[in-house]
Amino acid sequence: MAASTLSEVARLAGVSPATASRVLNGSARTPGAEVADKVRAAAATLGYIANAQAQALATSSTGLLGLIVHDIADPYFSTIARGVQQAARLHGKAVLLASTGGTPAEEQEAVAQFAGRRADAIIVVGTRSTRPEHAQDNAALAAGLQRYCANGGRAAVVGQPLTGAPQIDGLQTVQLPNRELATELAQTLGAMPFREFSLVAGPPGLTTSDVRLEGFQHGLSLAGREPAPVRRTSFDRAGGYAVGLQLGGELAREGGPASGSGAAAGGPVPCIVAVNDVMAIGLIAGLRESGLEVPADVAVAGFDDIETLRDFQPALTTARLPLERIGMLAAEATLSAPQDRPDLEVAGEVMLRFSTGSPVVSPAER
C-alpha cells in the first residue's frame, strides 16, 4: 500500500505540504483560490488519497468505531449492526467489526484489538455470562474496557451491564427491557386459556436468557399461574429443535397414541415460550417433527421479533425489540458529547400472533 503522499502533491503543485494539507482537508482558513485549485489538480492527477493512519497519529483520533458481537450471521446481531453502521456513517466514522463467538475471553481480545487500533469508541453487544468459568475472563474484559475508557475511549454495552464489574466511568449501558417485556408477554399469555406453561431457555448463566426467564415467571405469577418448568438447552436454533423433539414426544404420548389435531379435541393446549425467536423456530420444527401442530396442539412464543422470521407460519407471537434502533442508539451514545446521561432505555412491544392462536395480521404490515 504505497500511494502518493501529501508532499508529492505539494511538490507537484509547487507549494508546501502544509498548504496542501490545508487545501485538501477542511482546515480553518482556506488558502487562496488559485493555489487551492493548483493543489486540487495535483492531487487529482496523482490520485492522492490521504493516509488515515498518519492523520490519526497526528490528530490522535482515528474515526474508528469498534463493534463487538457474538455472531454477525445471527439476525439479532446483524440487525443491530445495521443500526450501528448507519449511525457511524452519519458521523463519518468507519466500523471495525469483531464477530467473537460469544465468550468473554474473545470479547476481551476484541477490546484489546480495538484499543490497539485506538478506536474512538467501542460497542459491545450480546448477552453477558455469570457462569463461574467465565469469572476471570469477565474481569479481564471489564479491566480492558476500564483502561480503554480511562485513556479517553468511549464505550457502550448493549443489553446488561458488565457482570461483576465496578462502575466504569466512561462506559454507557443501553438497557434492554428484557425483564419487563418478558413479564408483559407472560402476563398476557397467562390470561389466555392455556392449560399450562413451559419455558425453553439457554444454559444457566447467560444473562439475557436468565433475565427473560425471570420476567416470564414473574408475569405468570402476576397472572395467577404456577411457576413454569424450565428446559435448559443451547441458546440457538438447534437447542430449540432438540427440546421441541423432547417436549413434542412427551406431549404426543400424553395426548394418546394418535394425538391428531388438538383443535378437534377442543380442550386447552399447553403453551411453550422460548427465550428468543430463533430458539422458538427450532422448537416449532421439533414439535412438528413429533407430529404436533402449532397452535392447534400446542402454542409457542418467542422473543425479539426477528424481521426475517416474520413470514414464518404460524406467525410467531413474540416480544419486539427495536434492534436496528438499539444499534443506532448505542452508536449515538458513544459518538455524541460525553454527557453524563443516565443509562439509555429502549421500549419494546408484545406481538400476539397465530402461534398462540391470535388472529393473523396481514403480512403486508410486517
Partner DNA sequence: CTGTTAGCGCGTTCAC
Partner DNA sequence: GTGAACGCGCTAACAG
Which residues of the chain form contacts with a second copy (CB under 8 A)? 1-3, 47, 49-54, 56-57, 60-62, 67, 71-75, 78-79, 81-82, 85-86, 94-99, 112-120, 147, 151-153, 237, 241, 278, 281-282, 284-286, 288-289, 306-309, 311-313, 324, 362-364
Q: What is the dihedral of CA 178, 180, 181, 187, to 10 degrees?
A: 140
C-alpha count within 13 angstroms, C-beta hemisphere, residue 218: 13
Q: Which of a second copy, DNA, none lies near 336, with the C-beta cut-off 5 to 8 A by kind?
A: none
**Where on the chain is the footprint of DNA (CB under 7 A)?**
2, 5-7, 14-19, 21-22, 24-25, 27, 29, 31-32, 34-36, 48, 50-51, 54-55, 57-60
**How many Cβ atoms from other residues are within 10 Å of residue 195's Cβ?**
11
For DNA, the closer of residues 12 and 272 by Cβ is: 12
Q: Which of a second copy, DNA, none lies near 32, with the C-beta cut-off 5 to 8 A by kind?
A: DNA
Give min distance, CB of 85 to a second copy, in A: 4
Q: Are 141 and 176 in contact (CB under 8 A)?
A: no
Q: Which of DNA, a second copy, none lies near 192, with the C-beta cut-off 5 to 8 A by kind?
A: none
Give min distance, CB of 259 to a second copy, in A: 19
Cβ contacts of 69-73, under 8 Å, gap ≥ 24? 69/97, 69/98, 69/99, 69/100, 69/125, 69/126, 70/99, 70/100, 70/101, 70/102, 70/125, 70/126, 70/127, 71/99, 71/101, 71/102, 72/97, 72/99, 73/99
Q: Which of a second copy, DNA, none lies near 308, with the C-beta cut-off 5 to 8 A by kind?
A: a second copy
Give min distance, CB of 72 to a second copy, in A: 5
For a second copy, the closer of residues 307 and 349 by Cβ is: 307
C-alpha cell of residue 62: 482515528
63-79 in b/e form (b: 16+ CB < 10 A) is: ebbbbbbbeeebbbbbb
Q: Which of DNA, a second copy, none lies near 163, with the C-beta cut-off 5 to 8 A by kind?
A: none
Give min distance, CB of 58 to DNA, in A: 3
C-alpha cell of residue 248: 413434542
Alpha-carbon 217 to chain mean position: 24
Q: Which of DNA, a second copy, none lies near 29, with the C-beta cut-off 5 to 8 A by kind?
A: DNA
Can you tell me whether residue 314 is helix, strand or coil? Answer: coil
For DNA, the closer of residues 49 and 264 by Cβ is: 49
Give min distance, CB of 146 to DNA, in A: 19
Give min distance, CB of 112 to DNA, in A: 13
C-alpha cell of residue 366: 410486517
Q: Which of a second copy, DNA, none lies near 311, with the C-beta cut-off 5 to 8 A by kind?
A: a second copy
DSSP assignment of 191-233, as one string?
A: TS--S-EEEEE-STTBHHHHHHHHHHHHHHHHTT-PPPPEEE-
For DNA, the closer of residues 4 and 221 by Cβ is: 4
Give min distance, CB of 122 to DNA, in A: 18
Rg (CA), the chain: 26
